């Protein structure tokens, strides 16, 4: 048993669960940590995709009652609106994001480009927070179809540039078009289910042959850690957004991005 390998699985599971649903970019952090831990390759890529499923399961678990209620009462106007909004918001990702995903990963998934995205995304958060005014939509159940579609467009931005942050783009994009902090955050959570699940299944289908039965304990460890840490973060974020803004996340992104840009500029190989 390679204890160091299990330690890597725990670290990456924590990184995934802790960063997936806050506006700091889980993909960017995973790319950086995999680089630092020398955990790169086809099998390691499969692991990173697999642990995302743990984070998705955390959202489903937290909102299990809401999800069941919507499915059970799908014919009512309120439930029907949320279902249609999630579908509409997922269309840009399916039409633009998924077909370009492989090309983006090959050309824009390096640590340097991720570091730059962290800075750009941090500045964007500060700008949106500066101009944020009283929201026109308070509840996730009341989001108009047009605004839901716009949030889906913002999600594509994160898919085209790893490090921008899917949750950051959707939450801050939602704020920019008039959603309340709670509505934008919850809609981002609901959007994550089809977006992340679809992307993960598509990628897993291409790389399933690289994992063996011997990898199951390591994959399972990362999955469980990602699930538990995501549960904690989701509940904490909902409490946080009811009383605070997102500026601390912006300053964190900018500071980390600048440090990384300086590091990789002077050490282009990461050495």
For residue 271, the model assigns a pLDDT of 45
Rounded to the nearest integer, the mean pLDDT of the chain is 88
Placement of tokens 């601390």 in the chain: 248
pLDDT per residue as tens digits for the range 126-170: 999 998 888 999 999 999 999 999 999 999 888 888 888 889 999
In total, the chain counts a number of residues equal to: 271
- Measured CA to CA, the distance from residue 271 to residue 263 in angstroms comes to 10
pLDDT of residue 269: 57
Give the tens place of pLDDT for each residue, 27-43.
889 888 988 898 887 78
**Predicted local distance difference test score (pLDDT) of residue 148:** 96
What pTM did the predictor assign?
A: 0.87
Between residues 177 and 3, which one has the greater pLDDT? Answer: 177
pLDDT of 89 > 90? The answer is yes
Q: Identify the band that residue 255 occupies on the pLDDT scale cut at 50, 70 and 90.
A: very high
Q: How far apart are alpha carbons 248 and 69 in whole angstroms? A: 34
pLDDT in tens, 226-236: 999 999 999 99
Q: CA angle, corner 115, sides to 112 and 119, nearest 5? A: 140
Question: Distance between CA atoms of 175 and 21, rounded to whole angstroms?
Answer: 16
Measured CA to CA in angstroms, residue 24 lies from 113, 247, 256 at distances of: 14, 11, 10
Distance between CA atoms of 231 and 227, rounded to whole angstroms? Answer: 6
The DSSP annotation for 169-198 comes to HHHHHHHHTTB-HHHHHHHHHHHHHHHHHH
Question: If DSSP codes are grouped into helix, strand and coil, which group holds residue 139?
Answer: coil
Rounded Cα distance, 249 and 127, in Å? 13
**What pLDDT sits at residue 114?**
87
């Amino acid at each position: 048993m390679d204890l160091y390998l299990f330690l890597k699985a725990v670290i990456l599971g924590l990184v995934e669960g802790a960063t997936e649903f806050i506006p700091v970019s889980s993909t960017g952090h995973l790319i950086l940590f995999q680089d630092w831990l020398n955990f790169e390759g086809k099998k390691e890529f499969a692991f990173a995709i697999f642990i995302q499923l743990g984070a998705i399961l955390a959202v489903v678990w937290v909102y299990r009652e809401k999800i069941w209620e919507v499915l059970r009462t799908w014919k009512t106007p309120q439930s029907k609106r949320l279902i249609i909004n999630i579908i509409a918001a997922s269309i840009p990702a399916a039409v633009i994001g998924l077909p370009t995903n492989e090309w983006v990963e090959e050309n824009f998934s390096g640590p340097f480009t991720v570091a730059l995205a962290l800075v750009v995304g941090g500045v964007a958060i500060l700008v949106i927070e500066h101009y944020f005014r009283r929201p026109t939509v308070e509840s996730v159940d009341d989001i108009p179809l047009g605004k839901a579609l716009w949030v889906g467009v913002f999600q594509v931005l994160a898919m085209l540039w790893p490090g921008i942050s899917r949750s950051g783009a959707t939450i801050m994009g939602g704020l920019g078009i008039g959603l309340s902090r709670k509505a934008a955050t919850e809609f981002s959570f609901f959007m994550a289910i089809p977006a992340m699940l679809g992307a993960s299944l598509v990628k897993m289908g291409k790389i399933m042959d690289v994992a063996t039965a011997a990898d199951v304990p390591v994959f399972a460890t990362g999955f469980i850690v990602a699930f538990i840490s995501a549960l904690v973060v989701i509940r904490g974020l909902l409490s946080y957004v009811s009383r605070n803004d997102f500026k601390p996340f912006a300053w964190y992104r900018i500071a980390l991005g600048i440090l990384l840009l300086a590091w990789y500029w002077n050490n282009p190989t990461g050495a």
